[in-house]
Structure 1
Amino acid sequence: MADDLAIRGKLEGCAVAGCHGAGALTFSIDLATASVEAALAPLSNQISVNGNALVDQFYPDCSDLLTKVTDDWGAGQRMPLGGTLWSNAEIDCFRSYLNEIGN
C-alpha cells in the first residue's frame, strides 16, 4: 500500500490554515482519525463543483481530490492553493493510495 504517513503529510497541508480543516467553508478533512483511509471515506458521499465524487470508490482515478492536484484540475483552481504543487511522484503515490482503498 502507498505510504499512509506520506499521504497524511501532504493532506495535513490541506487541512490547516482554514482551507479544509475544522470550520472550513468547503469540505473538511478530519486527520484526527486513525488512518487517512478513514478520513477520506466520508468524502465518497460528497460531490465536487465538477460534478464528480471527491473520492470515487468505483473509479478512483476519477476522484476529484486526485484531479485537483494534477494539471487536469477542471473547475475552480488547482490545489494546493498558494502552496507548492504536488510532484508527479506525490500524485502517483496518492493515485495508488486511492486505487488501493477503492478496491
Structure 2
Amino acid sequence: MIDLLPASAVCAQLGRRLRVLRLARNLGQAELAARAGCSLSAVRRLEAQGQGSLELVVRVAQALQAADGLGALFELPAVTSIAQAEAAAGGPVRRRASRRSAGAAK
C-alpha cells in the first residue's frame, strides 16, 4: 500500500511508472521534454528519482495524456457526516431510545 511507504519511495515508484508510460507511448525522454516544455535533465531526474516540481509533474502528465489521473489527487472525501462515516464503515447504526408513553409505569 502506497500510504505506508516513505515519501522518497513513493516518488521513486511514480518515476518508474512515468518511465513505463513514456515507453508505452513510444516517446524518448527528449521528445517528452519538448512536449512538456521542460529540460531533458528534468525528465531524467523525474524518472530516475521522482524529483521535480508539481508543475513539472502536471506538464509531463499532460504531455503523456495522463492528466486525468491527477484529478483525484487531493479530492475531498464524499463523507459529510459522522452517521455517513459509520454507515460506510459498516458499523452498527446508531439509534435513539424510544420514548415512553404517558401512561407507562415508572
Same topology, TM > 0.5: no
More helix by share: 2
Q: Which has the larger radius of gyration?
A: 2
